[in-house]
């Protein structure tokens, strides 16, 4: 019937075009039954994006929009209702107990330097001295002659919060030369400066180190930075990777969270060098 409409002339043609456009829009709207918005942690976003693609493929008509921006954004958006789900790459604080957290994987904070840096391990005491400006030269730590370039995370990033908590430091104590946002920016910065030191997601760092990015992960004391030491609990910078909601989840929100915690996504968790539940 739609094809015969185009054989009329004048105003009827214009009306027919508008009718066809309206029918097309309705068809597109009915195809997408629901949309989930997820925002927050840049550490968690790549994994959740892959999980979302798999979820969409098994749930036709459901669209999942994943946006990063930091854990603080995930918390703010979940509280305000701007997002259905927030992403936070740390445990919730006491001031955030109005939110509900659902752990999907475990990660850790990795200390990274350029791969050509001869230093292999640093103690917690040495790391504190580096990041507070008490030690400023690599040769004081068994490295080559050269100034230590401290790369620090911007405020609002969960990686910063975890690092400060583990080192028992306040933000104002950090003497940074470079401030970065997400893990990718931190890794790129350290890879481009053989005197730099920073801290990022261990999952992200291990992925880049194994794909020929010129960085390496430092052991802390005698503990190597690897998944085995996260699993046995000996590594000191372990953290939860959480999805959060402001209210008890139901509907598609609950379905997505359940899917993200299920064995159906363990391969994706491992592909991102995180530890599955």
Whether 90 shows a pLDDT value over 90: the answer reads yes
Within this chain, do residues 123 and 165 fall inside the same structural domain, yes or no? Answer: yes
Within this chain, do residues 85 and 118 fall inside the same structural domain, yes or no? Answer: no
In a domain, 188, yes or no: yes
In a domain, 236, yes or no: no
pLDDT at residue 26, as a whole number? 42
Whether 84 shows a pLDDT value over 80: the answer reads yes
226: domain CATH number?
A: 3.40.190.10
Within this chain, do residues 159 and 195 fall inside the same structural domain, yes or no? Answer: yes
Buried-exposed string 42-57: b where 16+ CB fall within 10 A, e elsewhere: bbbbbbbbbbbebbee
Task: Assign 3-state DSSP to the chain and report helix, strand, coil percentages, each to 5.
Answer: 45, 25, 35
In the chain, the number of structural domains is 3
In a domain, 237, yes or no: no
Within this chain, do residues 206 and 126 fall inside the same structural domain, yes or no? Answer: yes
In a domain, 10, yes or no: yes
Domain of residue 6: give its range.
1-31
Within this chain, do residues 176 and 251 fall inside the same structural domain, yes or no? Answer: no
Within this chain, do residues 112 and 227 fall inside the same structural domain, yes or no? Answer: yes
What pTM did the predictor assign? Answer: 0.82
% of the chain with per-residue pLDDT over 90: 80
Within this chain, do residues 2 and 52 fall inside the same structural domain, yes or no? Answer: no
In a domain, 123, yes or no: yes
Within this chain, do residues 82 and 13 fall inside the same structural domain, yes or no? Answer: no
* Mean of pLDDT values over 250-276: 96
Report the alpha-carbon angle 172-176-181, nearest 5: 95
C-alpha span between 199 and 186 (Å, rounded)? 8
pLDDT at residue 33, as a whole number? 59
Chain centroid, CA 44 distance in Å = 3
C-alpha span between 200 and 62 (Å, rounded)? 33
Within this chain, do residues 111 and 94 fall inside the same structural domain, yes or no? Answer: no
Within this chain, do residues 120 and 71 fall inside the same structural domain, yes or no? Answer: no
Q: What is the pLDDT of residues 110-160, one digit of tens each?
A: 999 999 999 999 999 999 999 999 999 999 999 999 999 999 999 989 999
In the three-class reduction of DSSP (H, G, I as helix; E, B as strand; rest coil), residue 170 is classed as: coil
pLDDT at residue 236, as a whole number? 83
Q: What is the pLDDT of residues 2-55, one digit of tens each?
A: 433 333 444 454 444 444 444 444 444 334 458 999 999 999 999 999 999 999
Q: What is the pLDDT of residues 67-81, one digit of tens each?
A: 999 999 999 999 999
In a domain, 83, yes or no: yes
Beta strand 215-220 with 121-122 is parallel
217's tokens = 């992960």
Question: Would you say 228 and 38 are in contact if contact means Cβ atoms under 8 Å apart?
Answer: no
In a domain, 239, yes or no: no
């Amino acid at each position: 019937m739609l094809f015969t409409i185009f054989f009329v002339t004048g105003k009827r043609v214009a009306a027919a075009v508008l009718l066809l456009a309206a029918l097309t829009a309705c068809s597109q709207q009915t195809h997408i039954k629901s949309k989930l918005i997820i925002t927050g942690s840049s550490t968690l976003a790549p994994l959740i994006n892959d999980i979302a693609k798999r979820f969409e493929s098994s749930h036709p008509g459901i669209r999942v929009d994943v946006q990063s921006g930091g854990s603080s954004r995930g918390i703010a958006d979940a509280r305000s209702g701007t997002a259905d789900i927030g992403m936070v790459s740390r445990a919730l604080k006491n001031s955030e107990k109005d939110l509900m957290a659902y752990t999907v994987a475990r990660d850790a904070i990795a200390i990274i330097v350029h791969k050509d840096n001869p230093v292999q391990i640093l103690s917690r005491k040495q790391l504190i001295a580096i990041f507070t400006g008490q030690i400023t030269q690599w040769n004081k730590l068994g490295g080559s002659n050269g100034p230590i370039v401290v790369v620090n995370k911007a405020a609002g990033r969960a990686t910063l919060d975890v690092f400060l908590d583990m080192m028992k430091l306040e933000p104002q104590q950090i003497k940074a030369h470079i401030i970065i946002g997400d893990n990718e920016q931190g890794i790129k910065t350290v890879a481009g400066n053989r005197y730099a030191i920073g801290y990022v997601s261990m999952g992200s760092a291990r992925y880049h180190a194994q794909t020929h990015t010129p960085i390496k992960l430092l052991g802390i004391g005698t503990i190597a930075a690897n998944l085995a030491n996260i699993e046995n609990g000996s590594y000191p910078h372990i953290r939860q990777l959480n999805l959060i909601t402001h209210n008890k989840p139901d509907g598609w929100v609950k379905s997505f969270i359940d899917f993200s915690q299920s064995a159906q996504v363990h391969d994706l968790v491992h592909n991102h060098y995180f530890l599955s539940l």
